[in-house]
Amino acid sequence: MAVKGTDLVKLLPKKTKCKECGFPTCFAFAMKLATGGTEISACPHLSDEVREQIEELLAPPIRPVAIGTGDKALVIGDEEVMYRHEKTFFHQPGIGVLVTDTDDEKEIERKVKSVEEMKFIWIGHALKADLVVLKSASGDKGKFLSLVKKAADMTDGAPLVLMADDIDTLLAGLEACGKERKPLLYAVTEENIDEAISKLGQAEVPLAVKADGLEKITALTEKLKEAGLQDLVVDAGSRTLWEAVRDQIFVRRAALKQGYKPLGHPTITFPCFMADDSRKELAIASALLTRYAGIIVLSDLKEDYLFPLVVLRMNIYTDPRVPMAVEAKIYEINEPTNVSPVLLTTNFALTYFSVANEIEATKVPTYLAIQDTEGLSVLTSWSAGKFNGETAGEFIKKSGIEQKTKNRRIVIPGLLARIRGELEDELPEWEVVIGPRDAAGISSFLPELVGRS
């Protein structure tokens, strides 16, 4: 629910010929303000009260929250849509691992380390978890503090979440890791909210708010806001899959569709408390990831489960308005020579990566001709008329491949067997060979092809 310029102008003084903001009229200023093109401070004629009112209207419907500092900080919230196809999801949820002060030393070290060290390279990005979530479970403050210290020392700035039932333990934990580390403190509840306001009011760290259900959450977030505490992350307490998903949907809808500020905060979720085995935990984590979770806390980081989860996160948070495309050109794989064959496909990034990977694995020197299909996949680009005999023929002629290799065999995707004739008409010098339907078929197809030649 973006604010409209016409709503803002009602609050402005409407001084004619003032122009101190640099705009000809208050109306022009309001219009620009609504789209983020100027700052409210440019108008000197506002009372504090009106300024606050306008700031509130301009604030993003879901408040961004930063956990941690510097380039290691995790920023969540500040989302604008319910569904990724409406625009895009902007801030990837943080994935954390739960470490408790009752875990044994080795276990603690392994888990803490895994947050920074367990990485997966995917299409040129290093994907990993983000947060170390430290929980006081022993009831022994000393134990919790040594856990916090240890985790803070062992990590290279990874954002932390501190979990304890009482405010004093949280405060002590905050001292132990250092305020400047900006951990998220979990949690402010109905029981401790007054104490939290008096003791954490000046702490300048983000706070998690936990209650039983969203209605109770709103009472807490409103009270904290009055006390000037607004960097909040909410947990509606549901610990079954579909209730948790429902709460995620309701929080997002309340914030975006109702403009309801008390729920305009990112969320924290706990698959670690919702499942008794890793597969179920992964199922819950992926459902919550797709449905708006701001933080996802797992019981452990295991490669086989974390890998698909971080890939899903990347997929769901890519910008759907930008096709994933690679540069259209001739790629040289396995050091091709002047007799190497040519494989042709589209510049859809995933097509390129899977085909290139497969060719590489065969060790067969090959030219991979990647045609510009605006990032569309093989069949889609064919239906859109961007990948057919004519366009492919033109691309091959202009690509310079005819100078690079004397081999006049060109392999087209098996899915497009139907363009063979058209392409042969365009490229009379070439023999057009129908390749496999799937990149996976290249491993047997390509060695056979060169064996034949």
DSSP 348: B
Q: Which listed range, 54-62, 144-152, 185-193, 277-285, lies at the site for another protein (CB under 8 A)?
A: 277-285
The residue among 144 and 305 lying less far from another protein, judged by its C-beta, is 305
Binder among 3, 8, 34, 43 for ligand SF4 (CB under 6 A): 43
Question: Of ligand SF4, another protein, none, which one does residue 242 interact with (CB within 5 to 8 Å by kind)?
Answer: another protein
Q: Which residues pair with 412 in a beta bridge?
A: 434
Binding track, positions 130-169, relative to another protein; x by CB under 8 A:
----------------------------------------
**CA pair distance 12, 46, nearest whole angstrom:** 7
CB-based contacts of 228: which residues, under 8 Å, 6+ apart? 201
Which of 2, 4, 7, 20 lies at the binding interface for ligand SF4 (CB under 6 A)?
Answer: 20
Closest to 258 (Cα-Cα) out of 208, 214, 318: 214
Name which of another protein, ligand SF4, none residue 273 binds, using a CB cut-off of 5 to 8 Å depending on partner kind.
none
User: Residue 287 or residue 450: which is nearer to another protein going by CB?
Assistant: 287
| Gap between the Cα atoms of 88 and 415, Å rounded | 31
CA 379 to centroid of chain Cα atoms:
28
Residue 50 in the binding site for ligand SF4 (CB under 6 A): no
d(CA 135, CA 127): 25
Type of residue numbered 329:
K
We find the least distance from the C-beta atom of residue 81 to another protein, in angstroms, to be: 12
* 301 closest CA partner among 148, 147, 94, 152: 94
Decide: 177 and 151 in contact? Cβ < 8 Å. Answer: yes
> Using the rule CB under 8 A, is 260 a contact of another protein?
yes
Between residues 174 and 439, which has the closer beta carbon with respect to another protein? 439
Where do the H-state alpha helices sit in 301-348?
A: 303-316
Closest distance to ligand SF4 from the beta carbon of 37 (Å) = 13
CA–CA distance, 183 with 283 (Å, rounded to integer): 27
Cα 423 to Cα 434: distance, rounded to the nearest angstrom: 11
Which of ligand SF4, another protein, none does residue 253 bind (CB under 5 to 8 Å by kind)? Answer: another protein
Nearer CB in complex with another protein: 118/287: 287
Under the binding rule (CB under 8 A), the answer on residue 211 touching another protein is no
The contact set with ligand SF4 (CB under 6 A) reads 12-13, 15, 18-21, 23, 26, 29, 43, 45
